[in-house]
Amino acid sequence: MDTTSDAARLHRLFSALREALSAEIIGQSALVDRLLVALLADGHLLVEGAPGLAKTSAIRALAARVEADFARLQFTPDLLPADLTGTEVWRPQDGRFEFQPGPVFHSLLLADEVNRAPAKVQSALLEAMGERQVTVGRTTYPLPPLFLVMATQNPIEQEGTFPLPEAQLDRFLMHVRIGYPEAAAEAAILRLARERAIAMLEAPSVPAERISEADVMAARAAVLALHMAPAVERYLVELVLASRDAARYDPELARRIAWGASPRGSIALERCARAHAWLAGRDFVTPDDVRAMAPDVLRHRVLPSYEATASGWDGERLVQALLARVPLP
């Protein structure tokens, strides 16, 4: 096989995928990019944003263009773990129990408003994300090789919610925050909505061309094969280490950080930086790739102290401070 031509073909596929998603999810280019990074880095995504910002539409649009089955589960306070993982059903005609898989066995899963479900359901989801398997009774069932969870979180209406603990947030590859689109993008959204409504009345929609699971796996392998210079790797590691011991750069900043990122954060940052570089069409990783991904990868892993929180600091601001202080290679 000609590896050069195959690499070029994969780049064309994912470039076309990005263009198609951007044309459908207007004004949320960061969300589109992070979805593709999560797909290539084999991780899961927590998206936080107000209602109506196309969070659900984004994962649906991705599912329509990848050969993978999709499920959406609305998290509510009365949800049970079995509603997510599945349950054993008694078959009297056969005299045995038969396992009925739940939504978590789909390759692409939208966990909508994950903070509205109680802790047991959240734990069942995060266990599946971390272990890539589900245990029901005495039997363990593997999840699909292509398995991506996009969980959404509503920053408003916090009454009656169950916030994810910081230790569980660490299971997410990235925590992405999205905002409202600009005026031009909002006008484009209105036009697109009208065009879709007219198209639905005139003719049935044509299925989009889909990327095969084999191509996704090949792209993941290409991402892992990218060259990362030792200096870039040292910079990445130093950025994470600084979150644990910032006193070397700024004693005041060190007092504002209660907990730094774990080795899981280093792994996540490396994978996301590689995916970011690959999507940009490069075969090597630069410090700019690390810096571009650091806020989304580390904001939920670098925790402010009580005093810092009282002063208005959060993980986002702490990561930006670290980026400003750790010197580039």
Q: Using one digit for the tens of pLDDT, what is the confidence trace for 20-57?
A: 999 889 888 999 999 999 999 999 999 998 888 888 88
Q: What are the residues facing 149 on neighbouring strands?
A: 109
pLDDT digits over 187-212, tens only?
888 888 887 777 766 655 556 678 99
Task: Look up the pTM and report it.
Answer: 0.91
pLDDT digits over 112-133, tens only?
998 888 888 988 898 899 889 9
Do 302 and 259 contact (CB within 8 A), yes or no? yes
Q: H or E segment at 151?
A: strand 148-153
Q: What is the CA radius of gyration of the chain?
A: 21
Both structure tokens of 84? 């997510």
Question: Dihedrals φ, ψ of 257, to 5°?
Answer: -105, 120
Do 63 and 169 contact (CB within 8 A), yes or no? no
Look at residue 205 in the predicted model and tell me its pLDDT: 59
Cα(6)–Cα(15) distance, rounded to whole angstroms? 14
pLDDT digits over 297-312, tens only?
999 999 999 999 999 9
Give the residue carrying structure tokens 């044509």. 206
**Measured in whole angstroms, how far is the alpha carbon of residue 291 from the centre of its chain?**
17
Domains of the chain: 3-202 (3.40.50.300), 226-325 (1.10.8.80)
Closest CA to 43 of 142, 195, 136, 170: 170
CA atoms within 13 A on the CB side of 229: 11
